[in-house]
Chain A
Amino acid sequence: MSQTGSPPRAIPRDSLASRLIQGIAGLADRPMAWIQHAVGGRGMAYVFLGPNILFFGLFVFLPIGINMAMSLTGGTNLFLSERPFIGGDHYRSLMQCGSYLDPASCREDHFWKGVSNTLKFTLFQMVAMVGTALVTALVLNRKIRGRGFFRAVYFFPVLLSPVVVALIWKWILQRDGLLNGAITLAGGEKILFFVEPGWAMFWAVFVSVWAHMGFYTLILLAGLQAIPADLYEAAEMDGTKPMRVLTRITLPLLWPNLVVVLVLVLIKAVQTFDEVFVLTGGGPGTATLMVVQYIYETAFANQVQNFGLAAAASMLLGSVLFALTMLQLWIARRKAA
């Protein structure tokens, strides 16, 4: 602000607000001085970090620890003290497979079917999500009429609850839904989208992309706007073709943002549950059953609530997500460097 020439506005010393702030801050002076005296200058860092560490410990690390312990116990009781220790039995059950490529050969076939579906979903969704978000960002970055309106329209689904999104699309896609109404009007036959495995997976991916694309578009749009305009001007003066501009200027400079989007999409896709669960219920058969749905059903939907097996499955899923998060951190650090 001082660079623009206008002097910074200071709070008048005798204003009520400044006196109030000073008074409140003054209240902490004595205790802070006492704490600093007790723990020393270096220890003060831990004093400030303490509340945050306590919060994370209580709500993140403690549940992970309980989940880990739960995965090593059996039975149907909820409290750890009432559950017998069974070691790695649940992990052995989950990993017991004739071939990991054939879920039917596994003891916990639904877990591996969930893994296989989640991988398929992740692959399709990642390609579709990043592709459409990129195209949308490129279009919205151009000077088109109603640009602000379209930016809002594409972002709007992000604000909706995943359950609401899935219910809306379920109504559209069901036997007597809007889409089948349109198909019938056009003289076609109704399509039972939730009975055909291919269609069910297609719509699971489509709805997910529709719902979340706006968020990733926003990240890519921010990246596009950070590309210096003079590069494009120079390319225009040189008569560079638009495709070459895209591949030689836009995409290379957007690459760091694209990588972040890719990793975020990947992590979110692996965690997918609510939208697909409400939309397809994991069907037809187990065609869209995801790992998280398997964990939920094992722990809560069966009469025998197998918390131990579900906890073991969630530890395995957690380790995959941990690896992906490390990847994201590594990329982010490389980008910063």
Chain B
Amino acid sequence: MSDDYAKAIPIPGPESVPFWEGAKNHKLMIQKCSDCGHHWFPPSTVCTGCGSRNIEWVASSGKGKIFSFVVFHRLYHKGWDGEIPYAVAVIELEEGARMLSNVIGIPVEEVKCDMAVDVVFEDATDTLTLPKFKPV
């Protein structure tokens, strides 16, 4: 935790508050349809599988795999100065939902599609926790 956090601070939309509150408590919250069982992310107000409005927030196991990834070699934001190269990935959680995050704890050269990963929670500031992913 740091007062001089230089990276972008997300501005949650009204539907995303449970996700960010969950992250602060080190839970990876995603949405689930109470009718068809479909899981999805990012948040919406209807099931993206069947259209039902009978939906709930649930904690994901945090286990998944890297669906795809890129490695940033160019600085687009001063907050990442000194961290180039870094990996940004689309993570497919075992519940089926996909989300954007970083792959950490491994050299970028070793990141591969379909690699098994597990969530880790990075407390970025006193009020912001980011779910990131580490190879299992």
Decide whether A and B assemble into one complex: no
Which residues of A are in contact with B by a Cβ distance under 8 Å?
none
